[in-house]
Amino acid sequence: MPESIATRVARIIAGGTYALLDKAETLAPDTVMAQAVREIEQVASEVRVDLGKAEAAKHLVSHQMAKLNEEHAKLTGQIATAVGEHRDDLATAAIGRQTDIEDFLPVLQKSLDEQNDKAEDLVGYIMALLAKKRELEQILIEYQAHKPARPEMERGNGESDRQSRVEDAEAAFGRVLAKQLGMSGLGMGITEDAAKIKELAELQRGKRIAERLAAVKAATPRVD
């Protein structure tokens, strides 16, 4: 099963440094680090693509919400005109459309909020990957500078220090990914009969339309 973006970023950030330096003990450090940097750049590129998709989705949802709000406002004027002309049938149809729009908007707003959260997470992933890249580049510089002069007996302390750095990275990045990786599906717990739920929704909608029509009639002078 392919790794998710969140899992890949977590693996790169939290688990790569210590293993890379161990591998570099027997292989060319430049080659090992260059390969790690290439993986970071590849994942960062994929995250940017996902970020672009999230931004596009935000734009589409925002545009749709603006259109619905504009239509809702236009219908308000049309309802007043219909009531003034004793066309309750037209007013009822327009109010029905308004109630539909009012039902659409919260769903669209939730979608917009989700896309905003997703975009924020993706930006965080990119920032973390770039930070990891800088860390690897700095570690390589330090590794090359200290390896020739480092006594064999001091290796244990160096490994402990590297492990500590990895643990710090795991703790920090774990907080970033807590929302993404710690969520699981929640059961809805719905036991009502579907037909009854649908009937109730229709009753509620009819009541809303009737109440709205009565309010408009009360506020609009009729043309005799």
Q: Look at 30-39, 60-69, 112-121 and tell me which has the smallest mean pLDDT.
A: 30-39
Q: How many domains does the chain have?
A: 1
pLDDT averaged over every residue in the chain: 74
Q: How far apart are CA 83 and CA 89, in angstroms?
A: 9
224 lies in some domain = no
In this structure, are residues 50 and 97 in contact, taking their beta carbons and an 8 Å threshold? no
Write the single-letter amino acid at 127: M
Chain center to CA of 9: 16
Q: Domain span at residue 204? A: 5-219
Q: Which two tokens stand for residue 140?
A: 């390589």
72 lies in some domain = yes
58 lies in some domain = yes
178 lies in some domain = yes
101 lies in some domain = yes
pLDDT digits (tens, 9 = 90+) for 3-55: 677 787 777 776 555 555 555 555 566 676 777 778 888 888 889 999 999 99
Provide CB contacts within 8 A for 46, sequence distance 6+.
Answer: 5
Please tell me whether the overall predicted TM-score, pTM, comes out greater than 0.85 for this model: no
The residue whose two tokens read 């920032």 is: 127
pLDDT digits (tens, 9 = 90+) for 120-176: 999 988 888 888 888 777 776 776 676 554 444 444 555 555 455 444 444 443 443
Provide CB contacts within 8 A for 213, sequence distance 6+.
Answer: 83, 88, 91, 92, 95
The residue whose two tokens read 């649908």 is: 198
In this structure, are residues 136 and 36 in contact, taking their beta carbons and an 8 Å threshold? yes
In this structure, are residues 29 and 149 in contact, taking their beta carbons and an 8 Å threshold? no
Provide CB contacts within 8 A for 80, sequence distance 6+.
Answer: 216, 220
Where b means 16+ CB within 10 Å and e means fewer, 11-36 reads ebbbebbbebbeebeeeebeebbeeb
Q: How far apart are CA 107 and CA 89, in angstroms?
A: 28
Residue range 182-207: average pLDDT? 54
22 lies in some domain = yes
- 124 by Cβ neighbours in 10 Å (0-12 / 13-18 / 19+) ranks as middle
User: Coil, strand or helix: which one is 205?
Assistant: helix
